[in-house]
């Protein structure tokens, strides 16, 4: 899989050279290049921004440097016979929300190009124009505003790259992790068994794997109800065991048509 990132702050993407991603590059599983947008300017001042038409605060990124960069990047990696067009990901608070599901979908792609914008954003015509060469996807990390797309690129590249076969050493850690089953992860503990007067839940020292699985599922449900009721309400609980349904009931939920629905106007105070 190949990643290209375009930014006016290429040094910001230096962490991608380290740890997991760095190893995957050395192992030949991933290719990654960072491009300085200013290298695609032609004026003396290497200008990348200008004032917005229609007025308003801040500056907008000029279209031509982006077009030069994106044309060169697409041309350097021509889609082979039957090859798909590359995907252009534009981090933006106005994009569709990045989820684990979207990470899995993007991990199937051959070539992802990230356009990290700054200021008030990139001239909209760049996104329209790029659709001739790319599948263009404005994507948001969440409902908050960053100063630029770079941090969002770091998060997305890490989330996507670790799903590429071979990048994560133990594939089981991909299956067991948070969001794999639509619930938050259960709490984890390590040695010592008592630390500052706090004991690890006894069941985890019992060696009883059935009881341990039950304990963990219960705590996944408690946590999800307390912290992310939106996830719980979207979950398919049709095949939940009697035990799991009882936990849901204790948390104030009934199972109706395979969905967990809040019974009263309880606010979960669990976990």
Minimum Å distance from CB 129 to ligand JCQ? 15
Question: Cα separation of 183 and 220, whole Å?
Answer: 6
Structure tokens at 255: 């199972």
Q: Which stretch binds ligand JCQ (CB under 6 A): 13-21, 87-95, 224-232, 262-270?
A: 87-95
Q: What is the CA radius of gyration of the chain?
A: 23
Q: How far is the CB of 252 from ligand JCQ (least distance, A)?
A: 32
Neighbours of 46 (CB within 10 A): 14
**DSSP helix/strand/coil, 254:** strand
What are the counts of helices (DSSP H) followed by strands (DSSP E) for the chain?
Answer: 9, 11
Segment contacting ligand JCQ (CB under 6 A): 21-29, 32-40, 114-122, 169-177? 114-122
- In angstroms, what is the minimal distance from the CB of 92 to ligand JCQ? 4
Query: Which H or E run includes 209?
Result: helix 209-227
Least gap, CB of 15 to ligand JCQ (angstroms) = 17
Q: Which of 65, 86, 121, 252 binds ligand JCQ (CB under 6 A)?
A: 121
Which 149-168 positions form the footprint of ligand JCQ (CB under 6 A)?
Answer: 149, 152
Q: Which of 63-71, 145-153, 170-178, 206-214 is the region at the interface with ligand JCQ (rule: CB under 6 A)?
A: 145-153
Q: Which is nearer to ligand JCQ, 3 or 215 (CB)?
A: 3
Size of the site for ligand JCQ (CB under 6 A): 16
Q: Which residue has the tokens 């190893």?
A: 23
Compute the distance between CA of residue 110 and CA of residue 107 in angstroms, rounded to an integer: 8
User: Per rule CB under 6 A, is residue 141 in the interface with ligand JCQ?
Assistant: yes
Q: Which residues fall within 8 angstroms of residue 162, CB to CB, at 6 or more apart?
A: 20, 168, 174
The footprint of ligand JCQ (CB under 6 A) covers 90-93, 117, 121-122, 140-142, 144-146, 148-149, 152
């Amino acid at each position: 899989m190949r990643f290209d990132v375009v930014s006016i702050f290429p040094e910001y993407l230096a962490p991608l050279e380290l740890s997991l991603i760095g190893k995957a590059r050395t192992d030949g599983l991933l290719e990654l290049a960072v491009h300085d947008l200013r290298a695609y300017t032609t004026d003396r001042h290497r200008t990348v921004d200008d004032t917005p038409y229609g007025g308003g605060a801040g500056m907008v990124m000029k279209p031509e440097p982006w077009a030069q960069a994106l044309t060169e990047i697409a041309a350097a990696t021509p889609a082979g016979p039957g090859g798909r067009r590359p995907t252009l990901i534009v981090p933006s608070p106005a994009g569709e929300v990045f989820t684990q599901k979207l990470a899995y979908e993007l991990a199937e792609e051959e070539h992802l190009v990230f356009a990290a914008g700054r200021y008030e954003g990139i001239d909209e015509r760049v996104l329209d124009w790029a659709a001739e060469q790319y599948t263009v996807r404005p994507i948001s990390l969440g409902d908050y505003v960053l100063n630029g797309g770079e941090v969002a690129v770091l998060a997305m590249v890490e989330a996507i790259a670790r799903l590429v076969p071979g990048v994560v050493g133990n594939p089981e850690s991909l299956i067991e992790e948070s969001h794999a089953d639509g619930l938050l992860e259960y709490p984890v503990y390590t040695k010592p068994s008592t630390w500052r007067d706090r004991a690890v839940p006894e069941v985890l020292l019992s060696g009883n794997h059935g009881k341990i699985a039950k304990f963990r599922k219960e705590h996944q449900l408690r946590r999800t109800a307390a912290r992310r009721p939106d996830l719980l309400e979207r979950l398919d609980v049709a095949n939940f065991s009697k035990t799991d349904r009882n936990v849901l009931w204790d948390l104030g939920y009934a199972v109706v048509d395979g969905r967990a629905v809040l019974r009263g106007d309880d606010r979960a105070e669990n976990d």
